Chains A and B, each alone.
Chain A
């Protein structure tokens, strides 16, 4: 099947670190500015049960520094100075408050029309704000583990209790998953539990292997952004 905007990862300047694994899973690819994002994988039913999705091609940006919270509020980001808490943004994105001095901003599933890049580009050292941007798109891969079976799967590879009653929506755990440092954020998509994971991009293939291996016994699938968007739109 072909669609007008089908593409291939090597036709773009940037690539998801999971390109090889997703190619093996027979992903189709859609252009997203300067990167290709996997498509044609998984189903909404699968995502409600247990699915792993790569969102690494979507924009994300960090800020760090003692005045980060006020600097973000000045930029219209919705957040409070509560560490390990996520905030949904009016555009559908997420703001993860990792500490009183550090945040990560995640794009909405639909993309952010260059908003995060704009925040990065308009930051000036000369402004003297005690905050500075961090290029989290380069440092961290971005996965979503969705579905009712996700907490059970995480119990195999993560020491933190991620059961839905113990780890409510918009909680964050900065911990070790499959022996790799990871930021785990629960941000449900409508009524489907969804855990966003940010982990070292250089170890992304290893991490993806660990996730798919741990999830296999629960009948997991690999999904794509389109499936999550369908989940989001109901």
Chain B
């Protein structure tokens, strides 16, 4: 049985989790073209390598962020969305605004934080 570490509940059997898709910035629904919105909803980048994804711990309905290597299928780390956002902010203040990392690419490793609100 594969084990995934939920930031709220700790290590659990993989069967307790549901994959939520790649993390990607949401286009503005008011201004996005049909093609952009369709791509956001239905198309995945399917990158071979390290990606950032949404995962759900089903018994708690708790959504969190995981970085996974799609070649080795190894979970590199998991974190709450609050922790993910904090990391994004730290990365963007450390980088010039026009060189900031995109939302789906956290740049450094990090520890888990406590639970976040839903």
Interaction A to B: yes
Give B1-42 as 1s and 0s: 1 = Cβ < 8 Å from A's Cβ atoms. Answer: 100000011001101100000000000000000000000000
Contact A99/B115 with A174-B60, A175-B59, A181-B58 known, Cβ cut-off 8 Å: yes
- Check A99 against B12 for contact (C-beta < 8 Å): no
Contacts of B1 in A (CB 8 A): 159
Tell me if A176 counts as interface (CB < 8 A to partner B).
yes
Tell me if B102 counts as interface (CB < 8 A to partner A).
no
Q: A100-B114, A176-B58 are in contact. List 8 more A-B contacts (CB 8 A).
A: A65-B117, A84-B8, A99-B60, A99-B116, A101-B117, A101-B118, A160-B12, A174-B8
What number of B residues sit within 8 Å (CB to CB) of A?
Answer: 17
Give B83-118 as 1s and 0s: 1 = Cβ < 8 Å from A's Cβ atoms. Answer: 000000000000000000000000000000011111
SS class, residues of chain A in contact with chain B: strand
- Check A176 against B15 for contact (C-beta < 8 Å): yes
Binding site for B on A (CB under 8 A): 64-66, 83-84, 98-102, 159-160, 173-176, 181-183
Contact A175/B8 with A100-B117, A102-B118 known, Cβ cut-off 8 Å: no
Tell me if B54 counts as interface (CB < 8 A to partner A).
no
Contacts of B117 in A (CB 8 A): 65-66, 99-101
A173 to B6, CA, bound (A): 12
A65 to B117, CA, bound (A): 7
- Check A173 against B13 for contact (C-beta < 8 Å): no
9 contacts between A and B (CB under 8 A): A65-B117, A84-B9, A100-B114, A100-B115, A100-B117, A101-B115, A174-B8, A175-B59, A181-B58
B61 to chain A, nearest CB (A): 9
Interface residues of B in 41-93 (CB under 8 A from A): 57-60, 62
Contact A99/B8 with A66-B117, A83-B114, A174-B59 known, Cβ cut-off 8 Å: yes
A65 to B62, CA, bound (A): 14
B83 to chain A, nearest CB (A): 13
When C-beta atoms are compared, the residue in chain B nearest to A182 turns out to be B59
A37 to B62, CA, bound (A): 33
A66 to B117, CA, bound (A): 6
Contact of B13 among A102, A176, A183 (CB under 8 A): A176
A214 to chain B, nearest CB (A): 17
When C-beta atoms are compared, the residue in chain A nearest to B6 turns out to be A174
When C-beta atoms are compared, the residue in chain B nearest to A172 turns out to be B9
Contacts of A65 in B (CB 8 A): 117
A175 to B14, CA, bound (A): 11
